[in-house]
Amino acid sequence: MINKKIRIKDIAQLAGVSAGTVDRVLHNRGKVSEEALQKVQDTLQRIDYEPNLIARTLGSGKTYHIAVLIPDPTLDEYWNQSFAGINKAADELAHFGIYIQHFFFNLYDSSSFGSIAEAVCFAQPDGVLIAPVFYQEALPFFDLFKAKNIPCVLFNTNIPEADPLCFIGQNLFDSGKVGAELLHLCQNGSGTFALLHIGENSSDSVHLLEKEKGFRAYFKKNKLEDRVKVLNLENLKIPSEYADLENLLLRDDQLKGVLVSTSKGISFVSSILEKHGKRGIKLVGYDLLEENIKFLNAGVIDFLINQNPRRQAYLGINSLANFLFLKKSPPSLELFPLEIITRENLESYLKSGIY
Amino acid sequence: MINKKIRIKDIAQLAGVSAGTVDRVLHNRGKVSEEALQKVQDTLQRIDYEPNLIARTLGSGKTYHIAVLIPDPTLDEYWNQSFAGINKAADELAHFGIYIQHFFFNLYDSSSFGSIAEAVCFAQPDGVLIAPVFYQEALPFFDLFKAKNIPCVLFNTNIPEADPLCFIGQNLFDSGKVGAELLHLCQNGSGTFALLHIGENSSDSVHLLEKEKGFRAYFKKNKLEDRVKVLNLENLKIPSEYADLENLLLRDDQLKGVLVSTSKGISFVSSILEKHGKRGIKLVGYDLLEENIKFLNAGVIDFLINQNPRRQAYLGINSLANFLFLKKSPPSLELFPLEIITRENLESYLKSGIY
DNA sequence: GTGAAAGCGCTAACAA
DNA sequence: TTGTTAGCGCTTTCAC
């Protein structure tokens, strides 16, 4: 660290050209003779040049615009958490001339996605962070972005066909395994374990099916596959489905544990159990929604698996910024820790100010 | 966002003074007449000036030196993880002219602390990150740092008397509660639960006593305080202590769960249980040490509570940098999430590249 | 194709 | 006590 930093000027001197030429080589903007190119590249080879990023941003008044395409955070708690992460990142990056534009679609109306995504295209951002929760609707846009050479970072939901710069999220298969494991660790004796898909059609959702695979895989590995039940309860307003759920929870004496694959679904299970004062069934769900937290604190839910949407979104913006700004490609897959939340460590997660 | 950023030049114009004067006011370097001061402060009041930090760093060739005072990372796995976090932060901050100097003491020799800490003082850093694992030895230095006006960030171990800029770590009382809870969740029937302090003298260590308090508090809250045992096993090389441990683990049929308060201690417990093929005792320990991971994967340990030393240290450096650089005070207490690690989510923590 | 030069916003040294 | 000015390292324009 003793020798000073090498500047462009130094390289120019060493190579016997001007700073302008070095800069042109560094950014291969062309308009450089074969000979000058050679000289500059040679010296670059010999020394260890690290551009001064501070000077770079100041020199080029360049600003970058990142578009964010996510479900409307005012309509949903989970996405509001993502939004918080985006805003934190936006705050920190404003100094560097990186600006965020928001584009919200309606989580409860898949058809809203298209027009909003078009608006994103129209805005011509330098990069885009997307939570592509609607597979079918999102798919056509990735080609558009690619054609316009706009880098995409996906988070929360992966669409490998999109071939994004990077995906940030959790391994859902493993998350199903964790859910299974938590139930199993707490119930060593006999009994059955159920996975419930509530409020969504699991056959439409790779998301849920991945969790199911993981859930089954865990019990298979432990030679308990015959103790697993999976129920699809797409709409609990249908009386027969609701009755199925009640029967399972209240009248199946074998049932020792339940994992609910959807973050909102577990509150239905919880309220049924709570209302009937039924104990002894371990309950595992997803995400730190207000309702879920309430049931966790009440001792109805035992574990929640947290996806940390705030941090996912925060990292998404940062990855994009680093790519645009430092030309540093993020790892193509950033799989987040599968955070296990209990009554006793909940506070430590809620109060933590880290992103 | 439409109106351009306000520059010092603009303020100068508005106030009817020169840029130099504005700069002097902004940094209250004095040498400003009462009248000019007034004018500048008035305009500053009216507008919303955000200094351009990029230009600031470039303009003032100022560099900051942060000293890091931690146990020698080459001698200990846990501290090596901290070290990784420090290096990551150092990497990211080098652009801003923030440099890190390392000072390592010997974790196994408390007397080594003093001379190294003196070296830190001598180096006159602009800030210092300390893991003050030796309470007695560390105490006198905080006054020294304070006298020299060197801000201190503490991590891992808190010493409130040090009155640091900020402490980063976990709430150990709560962490004891989490340990207790995990044991309890997995063993709903009868039986006893033990807390073992292995390899350290618990009465010397606030650290361990805090965990013990939390452990007891959890069971008390659940009206199970009579099922709690606490054992001090400071040195397992002493035959009687080793025998005590074996007796507890192998011959106490009531024992249903064990929490080991020290990160290295749990491998002793694990190997005894493994050697004798004893099952049915839930085991909870601390930290992702190689040995602990091995026993977790083998199914001997059920849960590990992770302190995430890497992230603690990373955040420590960043807090200090933000303070020096942006004059932004961190929250005085940054309590980390109490991360629960199991066989199935372990990978997701180990592979995660986030800090 | 090339080099010189101006400028990004701020700091700090230096005249006045 | 002031205003002016010369940088910081890089980008970018503009003559040549």
With 0-12 CB in 10 A as exposed, 13-18 as middle and 19+ as buried, what is A109?
Answer: exposed
Average pLDDT over residues B66-83: 98
pLDDT at B326 over 90: no
**Over 60: is that where the pLDDT of A203 sits?**
yes
Strand A166-169 to strand A333-335: parallel, antiparallel, or no bridges (unpaired)? parallel
- Restricting to B residues 223-282, those with a Cβ less than 8 Å away from any Cβ of A are 280, 282
Axis crossing angle, helix A34-46 with helix A19-26, rounded to the nearest 10: 80
Report A:97-136 residues touching B (Cβ under 8 A).
99
Average pLDDT over residues A291-305: 98
How many angstroms separate the CA of residue A207 from the nearest CA in chain B?
Answer: 18
Q: Which of A313-322, B3-12, B259-268 has the lowest mean pLDDT?
A: B3-12
Under 8 Å between Cβ of A234 and A200 = yes
Whole-number Å distance between alpha carbons of B211 and A249: 37
List residues with CB under 7 Å of strand C. A 17-21, 24, 30-33, 35-37, 55, 58-59, 61; B 5, 7-9, 19-20, 23, 26-27, 51-52, 55-56, 58-60, 62
Share of chain B above pLDDT 70, in %: 99
pLDDT value for B3: 60
pLDDT per position as a tens digit, A66-108:
999 999 999 999 999 999 999 999 999 998 889 999 999 999 9
3-class DSSP assignment, residue B67? strand
**In terms of DSSP H, where are the helices of chain B?**
8-15, 19-26, 34-46, 53-59, 77-93, 112-123, 135-147, 172-186, 206-221, 239-251, 266-275, 290-297, 309-326, 343-351
- Please determine, for residue B127, whether its predicted confidence score (pLDDT) is greater than 80: yes
**Which among B96, B182, B347 is the nearest to A174, CB-wise?**
B347
Q: How confident is the model at residue B189 (pLDDT cuts 50, 70, 90)?
A: confident
> Can you tell me the mean pLDDT for B304-315?
98
Q: Looking at strand D, which nucleotides approach a protein CB closer than 7 A?
A: 1-5, 7-14
Sign of CA dihedral B329, B331, B335, B336: negative
CB B277 under 7 Å to nucleic chain D: no
In order of A42, B65, B223, B224, the CA distances from A50 in angstroms are 16, 20, 62, 61
Query: Could you tell me what percent of chain A has a pLDDT over 70?
Result: 99
With contacts defined as CB-CB under 8 Å, which chain B residues touch A334? Answer: 352-354
> Do the Cβ atoms of B353 and A343 come within 8 Å?
no
- Which DSSP string corresponds to B214-269? HHHHHHHHTT-GGGEEEEEES-TTSHHHHHHHHHHHHH-TTEEEEEESSTTTHHHH
* Separation of alpha carbons B317 and B65, rounded Å: 11
* A174 dihedral zone (left: phi>0; alpha: psi -120 to 50; beta): alpha
The encoded tokens of residue A99 equal 């600006």
Rounded distance between C-alpha atoms, residue B39 and residue B17, angstroms: 8
Round the average pLDDT of chain A to a whole number and report it.
Answer: 95
pLDDT of residue A2: 47
DSSP symbol at B100? E
State how far Cα B256 lies from the chain centre.
31
Residues of chain B contacting residue A302, judged by C-beta atoms under 8 Å apart: 185
Does the structure show a pLDDT above 50 at B2?
Answer: no
| Contact call for B348 and A340, based on CB within 8 A | no
| pLDDT greater than 50 at residue B1 | no
- pLDDT band (50, 70, 90) for residue A3: low
DSSP H stretches of helix in chain A: 8-15, 19-26, 34-46, 53-59, 77-93, 112-123, 135-147, 172-186, 206-221, 239-251, 266-275, 290-297, 309-326, 343-351
The tokens for A188 are: 């060593």
- pLDDT digit string (tens) for B6-30? 999 999 999 999 999 999 999 998 8
Confidence check: pLDDT of B46 > 70: yes
pLDDT at residue B75 in the model? 96
Contacting residues of A for B177, CB less than 8 Å apart:
344
Which site among B348, B350, B351, B355 would you substitute to test the A interface, given the most A Cβ atoms closer than 10 Å to its Cβ? B348
Secondary structure of residue A172 in the 3-state scheme: helix
- Measure B199 CA to D5 C1' (Å): 66
Closest approach of A17 to chain B, Cα-based (Å): 25
Q: In whole angstroms, what is the distance from residue A261 CA to residue A307 CA?
A: 12
Given a cut of 80, whether residue B236 has pLDDT beyond it is yes
- Whether the pLDDT of residue A205 is over 70: the answer is yes
Residue A1 tokens read as 């660290």
Tell me which chain A residues have a C-beta less than 8 angstroms from the C-beta of B218.
Answer: 344
pLDDT tier, A27 (very low <50, low <70, confident <90, very high otherwise)? very high
